[in-house]
C-alpha cells in the first residue's frame, strides 16, 4: 500500500489545520488525537474504515471497543431508520427501554434491576454516588492506573509516576491539573492483583469505604485478567466491611454473555455497562442487586440518588441497543473469542518473526500489546515498560500499521468485531510483521525492550 501517513498534502492534514481554528489544539476528543495531524473518517462499513483521502483500513479500534458488530450493521441501521421516523427523543418513557433492559437482565444473576444513562463515565459516577448514599461513607477504593471514566473521583491516580507509588501504600494523585485535595483524600489507591498490599491498605480504611471499583481485565494494566485470589479478596472484604463492590464492565461486557463476572465468578453489587449495549450510539447503564438499586427508586419521593438526563434511554440508542444485543448470542461470542485467540497468536508470531520482544495479552476479543520483556501484571509494570521506550515504540508501530492497512490504538489496545474472520486475522499478522520490520529499517531498535 502506498504510504499515506503522514502526508502534508492530504485532506486530513488540511482538515486538521481548519480544526485548529475552532478547537483547542485542533481536537474536540482526546482519543482521536494523533501527531502530526488527525485522520478524518469518511465512512465505515463492516470491519473497515475509509478516511477522507480514500484510504481503507481494517479497524481494530472499533471506536474503543464500542462497535462490537463493526460499522453500519444492516440490522442496526434498519432499527435506527425505523425509530428516526417515529421520533428521536421525547419526555415520555418508551417501550424500547424496557425491551433493552429485558435483553440485558438475564445475562448475569447480579442484574436484578437496571438503570440507563448516557455514557460509561456517567454509569460509574452514579454507581459511586449510590454506594455513598447506601453506606453513609465517602471514600472509595480503586486500582492505580485503571480507567473508569472522566468522573473526578474515578480518574484519581490514572497515570501516577513512581513517586506516588510509595514505599508502603500508594498515594492518590490527581489526573487533571488542579484536582481538589479533598477528592484525592477520598480515593484509596491499591495496586491491581497485589493481594498483600491491597489487603493491608484496605484494613487501614476499615469502616470508611463506600465502595471498591474494579475492572476485571484493565487494558491499562497490559490486559492481564484479575486473579481469582484478588477477585475473592475484593468481594470478601467489601461484604464483611459493609462496602459495595462495583464492577466496571463498560469494556469487558463483550467477553461473555454475562460479561467478565460470569467468566471469573464475581458477583458485584453494581455493574457499570456501556459500549456494546448501545449498538454504536452513546449509552451507559447500571445493573445491580435490588438492594443496591434502591438508591435510584423515586416512587416514595426523592430518591437517595436522583438520576436523570436529557438523553438517558434515548429512543435511538435503545433501538440500536436492542438490535445489537439480539446479535450478541452465545455462538457469536464463542466464534469471536476463538478468533481473539488466533489474533493474539498472529500478533505474537509477527513479533517473534521480526525479532522484537513484546507481550500480547488480553481476553476474548481484546488484544493488548505492551513492549515489555515480561508479561505485565499491573499498571506499574506497564509504566516501567512505557517509560523505557515502549510508549514511543507503540506510537511508531501504530503509524506504520496505518500504512499497511490497519488501524490500531497507540495505547496498545486492539479489539475484534463480528464482521471479522480468519482472513482479517491473516491480514493483521502480515501488516504487523511489515510494520515492525519498517521500524527496524528506520533505526528504532533503541525503543525495543
User: Which segment of 2-11, 127-136, 357-366 scores lowest on mean pLDDT?
Assistant: 2-11
- Give the Cα separation of 365 and 38 in Å (integer): 26
- Give the Cα separation of 74 and 422 in Å (integer): 22
Arithmetic mean of pLDDT, 254-277: 97
In this predicted structure, what is the pLDDT of residue 3?
65
Summarize pLDDT for 392-433 with one digit per residue, the tens: 999 999 999 999 999 999 999 999 999 999 999 999 999 999
Q: Is the pLDDT of residue 29 over 70?
A: yes
In this predicted structure, what is the pLDDT of residue 164?
86
Kindly indicate the confidence band of residue 31, based on its pLDDT and cuts at 50, 70 and 90. Answer: confident
In this predicted structure, what is the pLDDT of residue 32?
87
Arithmetic mean of pLDDT, 73-79: 98
Arithmetic mean of pLDDT, 322-328: 98
In this predicted structure, what is the pLDDT of residue 304?
94
Name the more confident of 324 and 32.
Answer: 324
In this predicted structure, what is the pLDDT of residue 223?
96
Q: Is the pLDDT of residue 1 over 90?
A: no
**Strand-strand pairing, 359-361 and 366-370:** antiparallel
Kindly indicate the confidence band of residue 4, based on its pLDDT and cuts at 50, 70 and 90. Answer: confident
The C-alpha cell at 53 is 483521502
| pTM of the complete model | 0.96
Q: What structural domains and CATH numbers belong to the chain?
A: 11-68+330-447 (3.90.1150.10), 74-327 (3.40.640.10)
For the chain, give the mean pLDDT: 96
In this predicted structure, what is the pLDDT of residue 165?
87
Strand partners, 370: 359
Question: Cβ neighbours of residue 89 under 8 Å, at least 6 residues apart?
Answer: 310, 311, 314, 315, 316
Summarize pLDDT for 219-240 with one digit per residue, the tens: 999 999 999 999 999 999 999 9
In this predicted structure, what is the pLDDT of residue 166?
72
Q: Is the pLDDT of residue 246 over 70?
A: yes
Arithmetic mean of pLDDT, 191-218: 97
Name the packing angle between helices 422-441 and 391-402 (round to 10°).
120
Kindly indicate the confidence band of residue 167, based on its pLDDT and cuts at 50, 70 and 90. Answer: low
Q: Residue 121: helix, strand or coil by DSSP?
A: helix
Residue with cell 502530526: 36
Summarize pLDDT for 338-360 with one digit per residue, the tens: 999 999 999 999 999 999 999 99
Amino acid at each position: 500500500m502506498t504510504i499515506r501517513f503522514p502526508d502534508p498534502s492530504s485532506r486530513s492534514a488540511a482538515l486538521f489545520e481548519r480544526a485548529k481554528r475552532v478547537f483547542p489544539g485542533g481536537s474536540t476528543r482526546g482519543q482521536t488525537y494523533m501527531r502530526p495531524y488527525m485522520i478524518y473518517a469518511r465512512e465505515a462499513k463492516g470491519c473497515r474504515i475509509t478516511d477522507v483521502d480514500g484510504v481503507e483500513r481494517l479497524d481494530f479500534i472499533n471506536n474503543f471497543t464500542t462497535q462490537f458488530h463493526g460499522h453500519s450493521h444492516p440490522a442496526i441501521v434498519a432499527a435506527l431508520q425505523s425509530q428516526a421516523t417515529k421520533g428521536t427523543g421525547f419526555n415520555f418513557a418508551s417501550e424500547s427501554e424496557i425491551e433493552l433492559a429485558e435483553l440485558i437482565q438475564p445475562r448475569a444473576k447480579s442484574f436484578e434491576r437496571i438503570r440507563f444513562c448516557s455514557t460509561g463515565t456517567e454509569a460509574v459516577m452514579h454507581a459511586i454516588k449510590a454506594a455513598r448514599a447506601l453506606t453513609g461513607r465517602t471514600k472509595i477504593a480503586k486500582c492505580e492506573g485503571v480507567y473508569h471514566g472522566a468522573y473526578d473521583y474515578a480518574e484519581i491516580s490514572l497515570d501516577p509516576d513512581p513517586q506516588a507509588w510509595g514505599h508502603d501504600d500508594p498515594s492518590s494523585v490527581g489526573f487533571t491539573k488542579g484536582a481538589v485535595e479533598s477528592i484525592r483524600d477520598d480515593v484509596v489507591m491499591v495496586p491491581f492483583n497485589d493481594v498483600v498490599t491491597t489487603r493491608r491498605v484496605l484494613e487501614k480504611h476499615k469502616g470508611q469505604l463506600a465502595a471498591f471499583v474494579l475492572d476485571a481485565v484493565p487494558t491499562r494494566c497490559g490486559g492481564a485478567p484479575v486473579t481469582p485470589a484478588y477477585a475473592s479478596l475484593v468481594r470478601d472484604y467489601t461484604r464483611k466491611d459493609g462496602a459495595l463492590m462495583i464492577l466496571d464492565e463498560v469494556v469487558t461486557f463483550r467477553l461473555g454473555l454475562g460479561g467478565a463476572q460470569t467468566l471469573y465468578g464475581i458477583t458485584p453489587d453494581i455493574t457499570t455497562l456501556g459500549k456494546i449495549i448501545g449498538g454504536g450510539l452513546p449509552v451507559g447503564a447500571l445493573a445491580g442487586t435490588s438492594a443496591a438499586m434502591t438508591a435510584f427508586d423515586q416512587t416514595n419521593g426523592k430518591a437517595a440518588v436522583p438520576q436523570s438526563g436529557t438523553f438517558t434511554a434515548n429512543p435511538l440508542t435503545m433501538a440500536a441497543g436492542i438490535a445489537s444485543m439480539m446479535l450478541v448470542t452465545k455462538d457469536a461470542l464463542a466464534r469471536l473469542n476463538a478468533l481473539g485467540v488466533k489474533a493474539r497468536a498472529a500478533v505474537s508470531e509477527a513479533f517473534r518473526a521480526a525479532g522484537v520482544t513484546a507481550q500480547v495479552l488480553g481476553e476474548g476479543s481484546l488484544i493488548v500489546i505492551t513492549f515489555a520483556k515480561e508479561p505485565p501484571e499491573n499498571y506499574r509494570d506497564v509504566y516501567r515498560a512505557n517509560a523505557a521506550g515502549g510508549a514511543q515504540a507503540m506510537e511508531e508501530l501504530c503509524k506504520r500499521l496505518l500504512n499497511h492497512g490497519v488501524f490500531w490504538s497507540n495505547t496498545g489496545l486492539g479489539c475484534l468485531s463480528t464482521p471479522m474472520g480468519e482472513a482479517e486475522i491473516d491480514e493483521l499478522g502480515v501488516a504487523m510483521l511489515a510494520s515492525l520490520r519498517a521500524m527496524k529499517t528506520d533505526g528504532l531498535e533503541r525503543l525495543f525492550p
